[in-house]
Structure 1
Amino acid sequence: AALDDTPANRKKVKQILERIEAEITVGTFEYARYFPGSSNVEKFRAEVATTGEVLETPLFSEFAQTWFDEMRIQWRKTHIDTVRLTLDKYLLPNFGDQQVGRIKKADILGFRSTLAKVSGRKEESLSATRINHIMTPLRMILNEAANRYEFTSPYHGIKSLKVPRTDVEPFTLDEVKSIIDTVRPDYRAYFIVRFFTGLRTSEVHGLQWQCVDFERRQILVRNAWVKGELVYTKNDGSFRTVDLSEMVCNALREQHKVTGQHPFVFCSRDGAPLNPNNVTYRVWHPLLKHLGLRRRRPYQTRHTAATLWLAAGESPEWIARQMGHTTTEMLFRVYSRYVPNLTRQDGSAMERLLRSSFGQDGGPQVVGESAAPASGSQVEVSDER
């Protein structure tokens, strides 16, 4: 019978709910005991009374394949490959021969604990981020199965592992100037674009000349080069227009003299986009070592752009649009200690800062094709997005 809406009855219902959740956790929940008048009771008659297991459901391997086939239409190819690898390498070997409805919370937690003991490519244990990525398809599969076969998902109440925050390590303007002045000439335009537009690695490598508007001094960020494939940007916020300083425009004009006959702005002799591994290990890291600078990922050029804009006094809203952030929340959360008085809003403050440091036109030397990174590198690292 329905209970009156009173504080005492609310407390009673809350206690019942907590008891149900506790029984689900330990695998002793009996549907009929709590909902004897429900039309679903008969569906659970196949339940094994001694174990509290639910009705017959498909094997995890069968349902996972169904789920994968239904979901892949909304994923890009790189994500399809990632999920397929996760299924084949981790989830199917551990859960494949179990019924989805009989997987317990303890099974999930036990599986996750074993992942912490697995070694990755560098013989190091898997990071919390990697483990969370492996667990995500498992959560989605079990939750979907629970909805379809009317049982409570065993993933209920399991939270993702806490991921340590990665420190932002931007370069100072003096360090940026030293890098641009010292880098081999055929990469000067490349790094000017990276340091002063905030583009991601994949966005720089996927940049095509048709998306460079010299008249309006803008880059239209529409695509990214990921694992050897040109794909759409990672999300709607990344689909954006980036305003260019005069220095960046001049660098791109010089670059156009060299690669303008190819679709991609930064490419090898045959017109293919640059290999990010080659850039990192053959140009970037040796350059930092030569200059005596701390070894950092090339992605720090994006963080550097944000901090230099903030130091120049640009508007947070303008910076967020440049970076592809939908709000300024992430800007303040990540770069809060770099925020001075914010007064400008149109890029002009950054323009003055660059001119004072690099000269009136800020133009780089002509970028030559001859020093393009060699092809055929077998080093495999994840793409920086």
Structure 2
Amino acid sequence: MASVRTNKETGRLFFDFWYKGLRCREFTKLTDTAENQRKMEKMLKHIEAEITLGSFEYSKYFPNSKMLQKFESTKTDCASAGLEPSENDAPLFKEFAEEWLFENVVRWKRSYTANIRGILDNYLVKTFGEKKVSCITKGEILKFRSSLAKVTNGKRLSPDRINHIITPLRMILNDAADRHHFTTPFLGIKQLTVADSQVDPFPLKEVWQVINNVPKHFMDYYIVRFFSGMRTSEIDGLKWTYVDFDRREILIRETLVRGLIESTKTVGSARAIAMSGPVCEALKRQYRKTGAKSEYVFCTAKGTPFNYSNVTSRIWYPTLKKLKLKPRRPYQTRHTAATLWLASGENPEWIAKQMGHTSTKMLFTIYSRFVPNMTRMDGTAFESLISADAFLLREAL
């Protein structure tokens, strides 16, 4: 809504209104008095009336305004995009994007909001910020996407990462098109094809090799990782309040993402994981180490949760290199748990619950080639499988 406002620093009055999708602030030398307020409000009513009738000439009221250049630039952009003047009455991308972010942040996790903020600042606003949302073309979007695929500083963004950058652009422009009555430029633009996630679990022999060769104070951490199917964010954010030794269950209720405690990835991810023997014993040993000094199960000497990047670069990859094992992402510990459960003959429905899947469909889609048979349903087969090799755990414990 248009208004007459006061500059807090100078005490001078200024106009604050919207025209052709741009927020306009035109400052005056008038001091904040009742009479000056009335004069400017009267003038503002004339401006609003002319804008409504389509007869407003910005240069007539503000001949020396810097906004004139912006309007001329926008007019040129839209003309090159083949748009009619009636289609030009929409905000700049950077302004609409901020409004869109503000409206949606209430329903997002803090970590997701931070991710979207980074994409806006590092990619989208830099490219489209000064263009009106209605003037962005399909060709410009495709050109931008292609630029993301180029090698920069020896690195190339993956198709999956490019899709994650393009997705908020799609959401913003689709929303803008709906609100400002223009056709979204995303019609016919499909996401890039992404290769299926590589499932590369560790054989049980290699699992014990890793456990036996990480630094001693990380052994229990990796026992729990390999034999519980927990995600990195789940185990790094695990608190003692969610470890139930009486029921031999780990309750997944929170995650640690970018140093922030969040709710679980999905509603189905909130679950109770049955502790196998090695996991239960590992957690009991860990409790003796950290139970009295931190709310987190696995933590630093200061009681703070592990830093994922630090543990990965200083513990995980050096251990694999030392053992001459193929480099794999730490997430493969989750895949390893699933395939070991399947290999031991556990019931797929029980496994799906342990993993936080809402059905067995994903289980069969991802791990189909690791399914030998399905007979048991209570975790005892898995217990027998890993217990048979438990003697491999070094005596240092």
Alignment partner of 1:103 is 2:128: no
Match of 1:165 in 2: 196
Name the SS for the 2:261 alignment partner: strand
2:210 matched residue in structure 1: 179
Cα shift readout 1:126-180 (whole Å, capped 9, x = no counterpart):
1111111110110000111111122221112211101122321100011112222
The sequence identity of aligned pairs, in percent, is 50
The one-letter code sitting in structure 1 at the alignment partner of 2:331 is: Y
Tell me: higher relative CO, structure 1 or 2? Use CA pairs within 8 A at least 6 residues apart: 1
1:113 aligns with 2:146: yes
The question of 1:353 aligning with 2:385 is answered yes
Provide runs of 4+ in structure 1 moved above 6 Å. Answer: 46-50
Alignment partner, residue 244 of structure 1 = 275
Q: Are 1:338 and 2:364 counterparts?
A: no
Displacement of 1:363: 10
| Larger Cα-atom Rg | 2
Number of residue pairs matched by the alignment:
320
2:165 is aligned, of 117, 121, 134, to 134
Equivalent residue letter for 1:137:
P
> The residue matched to 1:270 in structure 2 has which SS?
coil
Root-mean-square deviation (CA, aligned residues, Å) is 2.4
> Structure 2 vs 1, CA of residues 365 and 254 (structure 1 numbering), >3 Å: closer, same or farther?
farther
Q: Displacement, 1:97?
A: 1.6
Cα deviations by residue, 1:241-298 (Å, 9 ceiling, x for unpaired) = 1111122111111110110111000111110011222221222222212222111111
Residue number among 71, 77, 88 corresponding to 2:110 in the alignment: 77
Please tell me whether the aligned partners of residues 188 and 365 of structure 1 are also in contact (alpha carbons under 8 angstroms).
Answer: no
- CA separation of 1:49 and 1:224: change in aligned 2, threshold 3 A: closer
Q: What's the CA shift for 1:329?
A: 1.6
Structure (1/2) with the larger strand percentage: 2
SS in 2 for 1:242: strand
Question: 1:51 & 1:254 partners in 2: Cα distance?
Answer: 69
**Does the CA-based 8 Å contact 1:254-1:364 persist in structure 2?**
no
Distance 2:242 2:266 in 1: 18
Partner SS state of residue 389, structure 2: helix
Cα-to-partner distance string for 1:190-232 (whole Å, 9 max, x where unaligned): 1110000011111111011000000111000111111122221
Q: Is the 8 A contact 1:198 1:323 kept in 2?
A: yes
Residue among 111, 119, 124 paired with 1:86: 119
CA distance in 2, matches of 1:328, 1:71: 32
Segments of 5+ residues of structure 2 without an aligned counterpart are: 1-53, 55-74
- Is residue 2:355 matched to residue 1:323? yes
**What is the one-letter code of the residue matched to 2:286?**
Q
Q: How does 1:40-55 map to 2 (within 5 A)?
A: 51-53=82-84, 54-55=87-88
Distance 2:379 2:116 in 1: 40
The secondary structure found in structure 1 opposite 2:150 is coil
| SS of residue paired to 1:325 | coil
Q: Secondary structure at the match of 1:269?
A: coil
Residue-by-residue CA offset, 1:330-367 (whole Å, 9 max, x unaligned): 2111111101111111111101111211159x89855x
